[in-house]
Structure 1
Amino acid sequence: MLNRQTYLVSNQKVLDKILQEFTAATDLPTILVDTQGNALTSSHGFTPFCQLMRQNEATQKLCQNCDVAGGHLALNNKRATPYLCHAGLVDFSYPIKLDDQVIAYIICGQAKVKDGAELQPITEQKNTLSTNAALKSAYTALPFVNLDKVKAAAKLLQMIINNYLTDIVDQTLTVGPFSSVPKSVQQGVASANDEVWATNNQAAQTANIDFKIQPAAAQTVIDHPQKAEIKKAIVYINSHLNETITLNAVAKHVFLSSYYLSKLFKKEMNINFVDYVNRKKIDRAIILLQDATWSIDSIAHNLGFSQTSYFSKTFKKTTELSPSQYRKQIQKNNE
């Protein structure tokens, strides 16, 4: 079992990058907090009002209590649920789990809405504005946000976690960017041209990178396996991507023989065990490569590859670009 603190530190840059991009895309502030409401990552896009609230010891505690209560609400509802914070702003939260234990919450929102009558306060609302001129001024300056936008952002956050952050969330979810296969292939068409592959590769669209999956390696991966053992195996894989993951270790975890797990995994997922693990590792590598502070050697090490050369070979087999070529393409597109 991974140590909670080690796991969070190991994944901090990945989480920080995701939250930064989510804020840039939605204009809604984000932060990752622990189960007591303490910040674990940078605060992205925080409004002046919320910055002031969290700088004051008394009101900071109110914010932390709301963050924790919002996380509990998401757990109870099994979805990111908008709510009113103690100051009357709309937030939503989503939990991060490790070994079926909540270790952190993603908090997003800080939205002032006109049409929030349907939402219930997550905690008792405090009138802190009447006695603090700076807070009152900062609150008044907040722009109004449409509640439908906040609800859509909550759904988007949940989709991102459920489809792209499976390496840091303890859930049985879909494979992620490299499992996106053109409809023509799903229907059994044997070939597809390069434009179709690039268009249907979500990671390429996100980073504006022209790379492709080799058609020979493409498979329609089953999103939701039926067997409990395979669900448990996927949770284990997604929670240990920064380690060397062996078939024997996973088989032991799910109480099956290696031979039977291999056969069952291929039958349930329509992809063999090793290819699935490598796809998940490459999905995560693509995120890390967009952060220039990560060297290719450190990315390989973080993903459990004993040799950088093998990591590069695996990356190129999947994307037809080496990690360094991929990074150069990112830098070129950002110029």
Structure 2
Amino acid sequence: MKTVIADDERMALFMLRKYTQWEALGLSLEGEARDGEELLSLIEKTRPDIVVTDIKMPHYSGLEIIGKVLEMGLKPYFLITSAYTDFAHARQAMRLGVEDFLPKPIEKKELNDALRRITQKGSENKNLVSGLVRNACLYIEGHYGEKLSLEGISGHFYISPNYFSSLFKKEMGMNFVEYLTNVRMREAEKLLANPRYSIGEIAEMTGYRDVSHFSSNFARTYGMTPSAWRKQ
């Protein structure tokens, strides 16, 4: 698998190159970068399968790089490295479907174990829903009761609304609004089975501030109003 590595620290870049078991893992080093701008250009040129990068670099951060690469339509596996003080910040990268992140200083075994997991995943199934879309679905299912929008979700994952919308529909077979509505209606159906909740309360619990909007979506989904469904 084609691989590029990036770090603004010369020694860290050297250790990545030295520690990686290139031949044993079936990896080829396509290039190195010392800053975000150089890395972005390298990715665009080489179309790598794996990108190993520090999360903090000049010009573009690791998070910004991931967002820009996704908007190019490329889907390499990302392995993020981070200093301990940046570890909490690195966790944000997981929202974008990053495969793994490693604390600095890099340990040889941890690096190769992470790369081995990526190569195995790549060889097992290349048609899986991307990590980004999978994480977006999980986010929707955990926050369906809140005010969600295409712009808000895409901002949460550091990508443009247009790219997120097209990727989501391509991989899920439905657009963002349709998926969100399906999640909300599924939860509403469960709540309607409990008589302690009024229709208005259920509407609010599933993210609707307008009961009539909730009722019309429910009727469109189930062929009857929430009140009629509850009485059957």
Q: TM-score range by the shorter chain?
A: 0.3 to 0.5
TM-score w.r.t. the length of structure 1 is: 0.31
Higher helix share: 2
